[in-house]
Amino acid sequence: MSLLILAATLLLLTLAGYYMGRGRSVAVSGGSTHRLHSRPQYYGVYVALWCGMPSFLLLALWLALEPQIVEMILVSNLPSNILELSEDQKALVINQITHLALGGIVGGNITPEMEAAARDYAAMRQTGFAAMAVLVLCIAIAGLALGRKRIATTLRARNQVETVVSAVMIVASTIAIATTVGIVLSLLFEASRFFTKVPVTDFLFGLQWSPQTALREGQVGGSGAFGMLPLFAGTLLITFIAMCVAVPVGLYSAIYMSEYAGPRMRAVAKPILEVLAGIPTVVYGFFAALTVAPFFRNTGQALSLDVSSESALAAGMVIGIMSIPFVSSLSDDVMNSVPQTLRDGAYALGATKSETIKQVVLPAALPGIVGSVLLAVSRAIGETMIVVMAAGLAANLTANPLEAVTTVTVQIVTLLVGDQEFDSAKTLSAFALGLMLFVVTLTLNVIALRVVRKYREKYD
């Protein structure tokens, strides 16, 4: 709460800085603002930046580093009998102390030393915060004064403000890069921890997936097997079924929309098709589990086939429905950008419309269509909620679409939902799977985007 007040005070100071700077610039110019280098607002922003930037940066730095530093001091002050404990127990004790300091109720045995440490800890945090608050406010006021003092008619306030703004823009545009780097690094880091426990070759080429590891030494049946092939086979099976639905339906829709449909039909049907892409996947998952899977099971029973209620067929079908707009809308765009002259040439030779489409438009648009299918495949591979709700949990190396299979994403979810311990191979294997998923989808995306882009350049 006090943090909020501090931030609000800083904001107010910054705002005051703006008005102060603007007023000061007008005063310096003696009322005729055309003598100033920049317009008065820029002087206002200049002072506000001097006031707000350093103080907010310091505040952010403190927020990021304070807990670690205070905990380090806490650990160094602990009595030796606690320091000699194992890592896990030490972490538990530290956790208890911090909870005690916050006034929470803590189970377990609390020694007087721990209570003392908790008091120290609370006091330390309080003093730390007060000191930081004073320092930040001082810096803000100093910045305010300094910025105000520097205002002169010759000060190039606009140029300086613009430098800061473009720096901020550059930082903002690197956040996308930082996200990718963050994804790669965090996945690589956790996956490498996993690979110290399980050999890479076992993971990549193993045919068994049963991630239960022994909690205690000597527990029965808890050796754990981390072979990802069954999971990838399941993912590919479901993706294949999905594409069997999405590619024909999507492609034919795209052909109809771009070549046959009149403007009115296009105006109505195209947005409705796009709606399919806007429906949350959890809704599709519910639809698959509630309507589609029972339908296939009952149909199977009527034909005396043994269809699992979590069959790959149901999940794949629904993912296929979801992917229809990915295929259709991009293919539609690509076919629309095939030059009309190509079609006219075919008509002039006496080809019917369908012959023109099949022999002229489709070959010309093929790279774009391939790209759109690849993008749809990458979506289907990475799709999570539908398979979590409608596909099975047991790893099953089969090509029979009527059986239950599991996928990479389902396993990531089941491994990471609920309590986790971050040193077990079971939890870490989720990150190894995530890394594989990322690599596969990234490769597909890069190829797809390159294909589409190359093609676009050809006709633009």
Site size toward other proteins (CB under 8 A) is 89
Show contacts with other proteins in window 215-254 (CB under 8 A).
248-253
Choice from 157, 228, 357, 365 touching other proteins (CB under 8 A): 357
User: Is residue 33 at the binding interface for other proteins, with CB under 8 A as the rule?
Assistant: no
Please name the helix (run of DSSP H) or strand (run of DSSP E) that holds residue 309, with its range, or none: none
Show contacts with other proteins in window 277-296 (CB under 8 A).
278-287, 289-291
111 or 291, CB closer to other proteins? 291
CB of 433 to other proteins, least distance (A): 9
Going by C-alpha positions, the residue among 273, 241, 235, 234 that lies closest to residue 254 is: 273
Q: How far apart are the first and last CA of the chain?
A: 57
Show contacts with other proteins in window 249-268 (CB under 8 A).
249-253, 255-257, 259-261
Question: What 3-state DSSP class applies to 339?
Answer: coil
Q: CA torsion angle for 110, 116, 118, 119 (degrees, to 10)?
A: 140
The rounded distance, in Å, linking the Cα atoms of 393 and 434 is: 17
145 or 442, CB closer to other proteins? 442
Show contacts with other proteins in window 399-428 (CB under 8 A).
409, 412-413, 416-417, 422
The rounded distance, in Å, linking the Cα atoms of 136 and 117 is: 28
Q: CA torsion angle for 269, 274, 277, 279 (degrees, to 10)?
A: -70
CB of 415 to other proteins, least distance (A): 10
CB of 190 to other proteins, least distance (A): 6
CB of 84 to other proteins, least distance (A): 25
Looking at 279-361, list the stretches that DSSP marks H as alpha helix, in order from N- to C-terminal side: 281-287, 293-302, 312-336, 340-348, 353-356
CB of 222 to other proteins, least distance (A): 24
CB of 179 to other proteins, least distance (A): 5
Choice from 58, 210, 442, 456 touching other proteins (CB under 8 A): 442
Count the alpha carbons within 13 Å of 35 in the hemisphere toward its beta carbon: 11
Going by C-alpha positions, the residue among 273, 264, 265, 260 that lies closest to residue 330 is: 273
CB 250 within 8 Å of CB 452: no
Choice from 61, 65, 267, 449 touching other proteins (CB under 8 A): 449
The stretch among 8-16, 74-82, 87-95, 434-442 that binds other proteins (CB under 8 A) is 434-442
Show contacts with other proteins in window 83-142 (CB under 8 A).
none
Going by C-alpha positions, the residue among 348, 293, 355, 346 that lies closest to residue 318 is: 293
Choice from 35, 119, 149, 353 touching other proteins (CB under 8 A): 353
Other beta carbons within 10 angstroms of residue 456's beta carbon come to 15
126 or 166, CB closer to other proteins? 166
144 or 155, CB closer to other proteins? 155
CA distances from 312 to 102, 316, 317, 318, 404 (A): 50, 6, 8, 10, 6
Please name the helix (run of DSSP H) or strand (run of DSSP E) that holds residue 225, with its range, or none: strand 225-226
CB of 416 to other proteins, least distance (A): 6
Going by C-alpha positions, the residue among 229, 383, 237, 388 that lies closest to residue 313 is: 237
CB of 192 to other proteins, least distance (A): 12
CB of 231 to other proteins, least distance (A): 14
According to DSSP, the residues that pair with 404 across neighbouring strands are 311
Burial of 43-66, coded b for 16+ CB within 10 Å and e otherwise, reads bbbbbbbbbbbbbbeebeebeeee
CB 359 within 8 Å of CB 346: yes
Q: What is the largest CA-CA distance in the chain?
A: 97
Show contacts with other proteins in window 58-77 (CB under 8 A).
64, 67
The stretch among 100-108, 217-225, 308-316, 374-382 that binds other proteins (CB under 8 A) is 374-382
111 or 174, CB closer to other proteins? 174
159 or 223, CB closer to other proteins? 159
Show contacts with other proteins in window 159-198 (CB under 8 A).
162, 165-166, 168-170, 172-177, 179-180, 182-183, 186-187, 189-190
Tokens 């090509």 — which residue? 399
205 or 347, CB closer to other proteins? 347
Site string for other proteins, 5-24 (x = CB under 8 A): --------------------
User: Is residue 434 at the binding interface for other proteins, with CB under 8 A as the rule?
Assistant: yes
CB of 207 to other proteins, least distance (A): 24
Show contacts with other proteins in window 306-335 (CB under 8 A).
321, 324-325, 328
